Amino acid sequence: MFETSVFPLYTKFCREVKGLKILHMCGDATAVLDPLADAGFEGISIEEKVGVSFAKEIVGNRVRLIGNVSPSDTLLTKGTDAVMIEAVACLEDGIDILAPGCGLAPIPHLKI
């Protein structure tokens, strides 16, 4: 269904919009990574539910992979050492641009 309904819209968007185009895919986007790599985006932001090394095998060098450090399980709840370990693992597994795997949730009790 993705390739017949959404993919044509993505390719049209990428053809018609000027500038850098990055798409974030929430959830496990593994099943659609292959066609997405040919849609025309310069980057695909993936969350931690997608295995980086497997995703890199699928997309190769057709598109840059972005993300994958868990915002809720790592960035908001663990210390610096754990963040570094996960970040290094993402880079070693083939992530091209290190970033959180998704948006950071607000922390209402945190005073800045």
* CATH number of domain containing 25: 3.20.20.70
* Tens digit of each residue's pLDDT (9 = 90 or more) over 13-69: 999 999 999 999 989 999 999 999 999 999 999 999 999 999 999 999 999 999 999
Other Cβ atoms closer than 10 A to 59: 19
Number of domains into which the chain is organized: 1
Question: 52-59 and 80-93 helices cross at what angle (nearest 10)?
Answer: 30
What pLDDT is recorded for position 108? Answer: 59
Give the chain's end-to-end CA distance (angstroms, integer). Answer: 45
Question: Residue 17 domain-assigned?
Answer: yes
Question: Residue 112 domain-assigned?
Answer: no
- Please, how many CA atoms are within 13 Å of residue 20, restricted to the half-sphere of its CB? 4
Four-residue CA torsion sign, 44, 99, 25, 74: positive
Mean pLDDT, rounded, for 78-86: 94
Q: How far apart are CA 70 and CA 104, in angstroms?
A: 9
Question: Residue 67 domain-assigned?
Answer: yes
Question: Which residues face 99 on adjacent strands?
Answer: 68
Predicted confidence band at 107 (pLDDT cuts at 50, 70, 90)? low
Containing domain of residue 85, as a range? 2-100
Question: Residue 31 domain-assigned?
Answer: yes
What pLDDT is recorded for position 2? Answer: 87
Question: Residue 96 domain-assigned?
Answer: yes
Question: Residue 49 domain-assigned?
Answer: yes
Note the pTM of the prediction, 2 decimals: 0.87
What pLDDT is recorded for position 19? Answer: 96
Question: Residue 108 domain-assigned?
Answer: no
64 within 8 A of 97, measured Cβ to Cβ: yes
Question: Residue 71 domain-assigned?
Answer: yes
